[in-house]
Copies of this chain bind each other. A is one copy, B any other.
Amino acid sequence: MPVAHTVSAYDDELRWLVRRLSEMGGIGEGMVADSVQALVNADMALAQRVISEDLLLDVAEREIYDRAVLIIAKRQPMAQDLREIIGSIRIASDLERVGDLGKNIAKRVIAVHTMAQPKKLVRGLEHLAELALTQLKEVLDAFATRSPELATSIRERDEEIDAIYTSLFRELLTYMMEDPRNITACTHLLFCAKNIERIGDHATNIAETVYYVATGDQMSSDRPKDDDTANVIATSPGD
C-alpha cells in the first residue's frame, strides 16, 4: 500500500517538527529559569551551563528550517499543513531568540556576581521571569492543542509583563541615582529585565503564529508591542 505508507511517512515528518519544537521550548524555558536562578544565587556554574546550552537551540532551529523546507518541496502541502510547517519555522526562530536572551542574562550574572545587588529588585526580576515563563509554557500548550482561544488570552496578558517591567525600570533608575556605586550592577539588571520583557514578546509572537496556524487568519495588529519604558523620565534626587 504505497499511498498509506506515504501518508504515514508524511505524518511522521509533521510529528517530528512538533516534537522538535516542543524540545526547543523545554530547553528555552529551562535556560531562562536557570539564568534567573543563577542571578538570584550568584551561581556561576549554573550561568556557565546556560551559556553552553544555547548551542542546542541554534542547531535545532537550523534542523527545523532545513527539514521544513524539505517537507514543503517533497509533499507540496496545502492549507493547514502548509501553515503549520511555515509556522514551525517562525516558532523555531522565536525559541532560538529566547535562548539567546537567557544566555545574555547568564553572561551578566558573571559580570555582576561579586557586586551588591538590591534584593528587592532581584526578587522583582524573578517575578517578571515567572510571568514570562508561564506565557512561554502556555503558548507551547496552545501550539500543541492548536487552540486559538488560548493564544488570544496569552497575547492579552503580555501587558501585565510590560507594566511590571516598567515599574522595575523606574526602581532601578532610582537605585542608581541614590548611589553611583550601584550603576554598573543596576545597568546589567536593567538589561536582564529588558531581556525578560522580550521573552514575553516572543511568547506573544508564538501566540500569533498559533492563531494563524489554527484559523488561517492573522490576529488583528492592534497590540501594543513596544514597552513603556521608552517614555520613563526619572529625576535624580539632586534635581
Q: Closest B residue to A229 by CB, please name it.
A: B191
A180 to chain B, nearest CB (A): 5
Q: Is the CB of A104 within 8 A of B230?
A: yes
Q: Is the CB of A221 within 8 A of B62?
A: yes
A109 to chain B, nearest CB (A): 9
Q: Is A111 among interface residues, defined by CB-CB distance under 8 A?
A: yes
Contacts of A58 in B (CB 8 A): 221
A214 to chain B, nearest CB (A): 14
Q: Is the CB of B231 within 8 A of A107?
A: yes
Q: Copies of this chain, how many?
A: 2
Contacts of A65 in B (CB 8 A): 218
Q: Is the CB of B90 within 8 A of A79?
A: no
Q: Is A233 among interface residues, defined by CB-CB distance under 8 A?
A: yes
Given A180-B177, A236-B183, A236-B184 in contact, is the A72-B69 Cβ separation under 8 Å? no
Q: Which of A52-96 contact B (CB under 8 A)?
A: 55, 58-59, 62, 65-66, 69, 72-73, 76, 78-79, 82-83, 86, 89-90, 93
**17 A-B contacts (beta carbon < 8 Å):** A59-B221, A69-B82, A69-B86, A73-B79, A100-B226, A103-B226, A104-B226, A108-B230, A111-B230, A111-B233, A112-B233, A176-B183, A176-B187, A184-B233, A184-B234, A184-B235, A187-B190
